[in-house]
């Protein structure tokens, strides 16, 4: 009976085509342009609108069916005013020439037992995903109306009593090439907001990210705005983020990335890294331009964080010792408002023992880093020190 119900819901989802979908927004990079042009996305067929039904305990099967039905030229439509609960993992990595018009409200069922057992797992920093998008020529947009809610309070409270709770990331890409993601409200992720992995030619624009606990005794945990990983030619722009961890973090093998026109509040700054955490890995972050940022009430403004080396024979692959390079990083036109530190660069990340760090220096080379046109007034926490530079050699 459960199989029949899922199939029936999927059929209903892709046959409810009564109303036309909205017009896709035009998303352009401005003012900084990527090093190579993004591919053109042709218009979708206005007669191929797959409307997802909201009146189900789990919208996942309906979304999957709509994506398959409207792949190669159509639009998956979530009408405004509707709420969609996703209760099972959703793999959307097969997409081609398709739009997702998310004007309704999506939330993920706060079933900690299910998600910890079934979320898509990644070895890097134990990342996991509720759902993931991949493929070519994909546009995902909310027009400032659509929202995605991770019901983070439940997860943060659980983590406070058990730090082994594996908390999924709210939104993820895996193998997404030639795409736009725009106009969405992302709310209270259990972990990071976004994990952009194994992707290229993606523009992310006009987003509103907010992680605020409803319970004063429960702290928001690990609410990074965007983490890029093994991805190239990414633009993140024109967005507002209120969180408690990195506003943007360039994880290993992030290259050719522009971050511009962001307003970040309460974060740990815009960070390169952390890098060098895994022995046997070669991490690269290069050709990054961070431009026109307003950073307020943060621990740091601009940050580079690198793990030190390890003693020969050290057991464990996640304790530092990885190699790599950081090159051609520019932070430009940066407004700091009540931040504890304006600039922070360390090759001794995750250790307070600088003597040991000097004995086993980092295997990651840092060069050609520019901090230009920084203004503002920092907090008094470390006054008069405005930042630090800690090299392991």
Token pair of 5 as six digits: 């119900």
Q: Using CA atoms, how far apart are residues 159 and 223, in angstroms rounded to an integer?
A: 13
> Cβ atoms within 10 A of the Cβ of 228, count?
28
Q: Using CA atoms, how far apart are residues 173 and 199, in angstroms rounded to an integer?
A: 7
According to DSSP, residue 59 is labeled -
Q: Using CA atoms, how far apart are residues 230 and 197, in angstroms rounded to an integer?
A: 6
Catalytic residue among 72, 177, 242, 268: 268
Three-state DSSP class for 359? helix
Q: Is 268 a catalytic residue?
A: yes
Q: Using CA atoms, how far apart are residues 103 and 21, in angstroms rounded to an integer?
A: 10
Q: Using CA atoms, how far apart are residues 19 and 128, in angstroms rounded to an integer?
A: 35
Q: Using CA atoms, how far apart are residues 45 and 118, in angstroms rounded to an integer?
A: 35
- Report the relative pairing of strands 120-121 and 128-129 from DSSP bridges: antiparallel
The CA–CA distances, whole Å, from 45 to 7, 18, 38, 72, 73 equal: 25, 15, 21, 9, 6
Token pair of 357 as six digits: 């760090």
Residues labelled as active-site residues: 268
């Amino acid at each position: 009976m459960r199989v029949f119900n899922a199939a029936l819901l999927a059929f209903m989802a892709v046959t409810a085509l009564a109303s036309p979908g909205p017009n896709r927004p035009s998303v352009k990079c401005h003012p900084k342009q990527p090093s190579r042009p993004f591919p053109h996305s042709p218009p979708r067929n206005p007669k191929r609108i797959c409307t997802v039904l909201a009146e189900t305990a789990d919208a996942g099967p309906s979304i999957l069916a709509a994506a398959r039905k409207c792949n190669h030229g159509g639009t998956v439509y979530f009408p405004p005013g509707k709420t969609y609960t996703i209760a099972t993992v959703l793999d959307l990595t097969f997409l081609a020439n398709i739009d997702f018009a998310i004007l309704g409200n999506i939330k993920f069922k706060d079933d900690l037992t299910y998600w910890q057992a079934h979320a898509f797992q990644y070895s890097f920093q134990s990342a996991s995903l509720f759902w993931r998008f991949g493929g070519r020529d994909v546009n995902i947009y909310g027009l400032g109306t659509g929202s995605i809610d991770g019901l983070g309070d439940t997860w943060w409270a659980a983590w406070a009593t058990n730090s082994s709770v594996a908390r999924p990331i709210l939104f993820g890409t895996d193998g997404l090439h030639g795409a736009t993601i725009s106009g969405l409200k992302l709310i209270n992720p259990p972990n990071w907001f976004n994990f952009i992995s194994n992707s290229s030619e993606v523009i992310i624009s006009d987003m509103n990210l907010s992680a605020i606990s409803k319970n004063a005794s429960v702290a928001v945990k690990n609410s990074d705005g965007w983490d890029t990983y093994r991805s190239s030619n990414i633009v993140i722009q024109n967005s507002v983020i209120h969180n408690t961890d990195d506003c943007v973090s360039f994880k290993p093998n992030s290259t050719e990335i522009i971050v511009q026109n962001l307003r970040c509040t309460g974060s740990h700054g815009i960070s390169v890294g952390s890098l060098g955490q895994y022995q046997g890995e070669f991490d690269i972050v290069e050709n990054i331009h961070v431009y026109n940022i307003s950073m307020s009430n943060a621990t740091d403004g601009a940050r580079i964080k690198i793990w030190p080396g390890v003693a020969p024979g050290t057991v464990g692959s996640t304790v530092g010792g990885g190699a790599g390079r950081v090159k051609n990083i520019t932070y430009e036109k940066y407004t700091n408002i009540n931040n504890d530190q304006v600039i922070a660069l360390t090759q001794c990340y995750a250790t307070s023992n600088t003597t040991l760090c000097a004995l086993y220096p980092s295997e990651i080379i840092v060069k050609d880093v520019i901090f230009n046109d920084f203004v503002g007034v920092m907090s008094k926490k470390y006054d008069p020190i405005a930042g630090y530079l800690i090299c392991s050699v």
